[in-house]
């Protein structure tokens, strides 16, 4: 299977992860013009599962390094299998809440708050589980991200009028709950792999490619419970049905699948990079998606248009803080 051989390549893959995780939300925005996010989300989950299978039988099965996909999944111990499966279910719950927040508050708010909080908590969880990198620089980067999240929330609260405060509060709360849940999923999938040796992984544990497939399977299976509930009891609007889903056009469905493919690629690259970069660095850089999503929301979707001078200053300050925080996280991994 394909294995990353050095830290520089690992960081490069983490940056691609950041782009993928920060950009898939555009497909929800596109589909959202004619399609409920609950329906979009089914195609998104299918896309993630499809990506995991494609990569398992290609990059995960070529070459002489490591265990290829089929032999690897046959030897997995139940505990590790369930750990990755649980990671998929937890992520699925957090991500559907994030999608709900995007539908209410937009990319430039949901991602910096939800994914930004997930970055802060997730880096700490993954670092204390598998310490790697300079803790002083790492947590300085995290602190800067925390300030950036607060600045973003302040800018969002200044938008609109008083009649929109209830909707604003719901969007913020959904993003925050999503972030707390999202901060924990990577720990479960990382625990199912031998992060110290992808070439000859410990017996019973999985390679990144197998772990990604089991994780995606957890997303897909849990979606029958989580998304069914959300479809019947939506956060916004009236209930929707599976009949509505199957009435969608092929093009509409493909937009959702594309979103899943994009996110899934990012997640796999993050897992592949984890051996050389460490779980905390790999996860933390990937969650720099907050910055990418904020860029899309602010400059492409114009979600803060008309906010005034103070809002523009706050948004600029947020970008600077995120850039500084991510830079600290990268430097931390070299020490």
Residues 6 or more apart in contact with residue 217 via CB below 8 angstroms: 49, 52, 85, 88
The pLDDT > 90 percentage for the chain reads 59
285 or 104, which is more confident: 104
CA angle (12, 256, 21) in 5-degree steps: 25
Each residue of 22-38: pLDDT tens digit? 999 999 999 998 899 99
Task: Quote the tokens at residue 159.
Answer: 């938008």
Percent of the chain with pLDDT over 70: 97
Residues 6+ apart with CB under 8 A from 113: 101, 149, 152, 153, 156, 172, 175, 176, 179
126 with 155: CB under 8 angstroms? no
Alpha helices in the chain (DSSP H): 7-23, 25-31, 37-56, 69-74, 78-105, 107-110, 116-129, 135-157, 165-191, 208-232, 242-246, 250-277, 279-286, 289-295, 309-333
- Please provide the distance, in angstroms rounded to a whole number, between the alpha carbons at the two ends of the chain: 28
Conformational region of residue 234, where left means phi above 0, alpha means psi within -120 to 50, and beta covers everything else: beta
Q: How far apart are CA 100 and CA 227, in angstroms?
A: 11
Report how far residue 197's alpha carbon sits from residue 17's, in angstroms, rounded to the nearest whole number.
21
Do 188 and 129 touch, CB atoms closer than 8 A?
Answer: no
Q: Residue 334 pLDDT > 70, yes or no? A: no
Query: Average pLDDT, whole number, for the chain?
Result: 90
Instruction: Name the token pair of 208.
Output: 């990144």
Give the pLDDT score at 71: 96
CA angle 126, 130, 132 (to 5 degrees): 100
pLDDT of residue 160: 62
DSSP letter assigned to residue 62: S
pLDDT exceeds 60 at position 134: yes
Contacts of residue 208, Cβ cutoff 8 Å, sequence gap at least 6 = 60, 193, 198, 268, 271, 272, 274
User: Cβ contacts of residue 29 below 8 Å, gap of 6+?
Assistant: 102, 107, 301
Task: Give 128's pLDDT tier (boundaries 50, 70, 90).
Answer: confident
The single-letter DSSP state of residue 193 is B
More confident: 6 or 204: 204
C-alpha 276/C-alpha 241 separation (Å) is: 45
> Does the structure show a pLDDT above 90 at 95?
yes
Contact status, residue 285 vs residue 15, Cβ threshold 8 Å: yes
In contact, 278 and 132? CB cutoff 8 Å:
yes
Secondary structure class of 17 (helix, strand, coil): helix
Three-state DSSP class for residue 4 = coil
pLDDT digits (tens, 9 = 90+) for 38-88: 999 999 999 999 999 999 999 999 988 889 999 999 999 999 999 999 999
Give the model's pLDDT for residue 149.
Answer: 84
Of 108, 176, 118, nearest in space to 142 by CA: 118
């Amino acid at each position: 299977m394909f294995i990353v051989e050095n830290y520089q390549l690992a960081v490069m893959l983490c940056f691609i992860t950041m782009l993928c995780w920060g950009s898939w939300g555009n497909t929800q925005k596109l589909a959202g013009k004619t399609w409920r996010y609950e329906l979009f989300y089914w195609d998104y989950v299918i896309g993630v599962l499809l990506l995991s299978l494609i990569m398992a039988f290609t990059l995960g099965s070529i070459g002489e390094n490591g265990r290829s996909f089929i032999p690897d999944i046959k030897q997995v111990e139940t505990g590790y299998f369930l750990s990755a499966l649980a990671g998929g279910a937890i992520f699925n719950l957090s991500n559907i809440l994030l999608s709900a927040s995007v539908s209410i508050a937009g990319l430039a708010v949901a991602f910096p708050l939800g994914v930004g909080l997930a970055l802060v908590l997730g880096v700490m969880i993954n670092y204390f589980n598998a310490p790697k990198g300079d803790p002083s620089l790492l947590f300085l980067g995290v602190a800067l991200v925390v300030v950036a999240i607060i600045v973003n929330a302040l800018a969002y609260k200044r938008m609109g009028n008083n009649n929109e405060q209830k909707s604003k509060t719901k969007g913020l709360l959904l993003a925050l709950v999503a972030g707390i849940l999202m901060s924990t999923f990577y720990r479960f999938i990382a625990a199912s792999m031998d992060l110290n040796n992808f070439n000859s992984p410990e017996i019973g544990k999985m390679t990144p490619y197998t772990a990604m497939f089991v994780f995606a399977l957890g997303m897909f299976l849990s979606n029958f419970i989580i998304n069914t509930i959300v479809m019947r009891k939506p956060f916004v609007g009236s209930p929707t049905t599976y009949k509505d889903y199957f009435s969608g056009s092929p093009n509409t469905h493909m937009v959702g699948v594309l979103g899943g493919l994009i996110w899934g690629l990012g997640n796999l690259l993050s897992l592949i990079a984890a051996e050389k970069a460490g779980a905390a660095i790999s996860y933390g850089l990937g969650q720099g998606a907050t910055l990418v999503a904020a860029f899309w929301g602010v400059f492409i979707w114009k979600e803060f248009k008309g906010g005034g001078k103070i809002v523009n200053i706050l948004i600029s300050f947020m970008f600077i803080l995120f850039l500084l925080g991510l830079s600290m996280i990268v430097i931390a991994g070299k020490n």
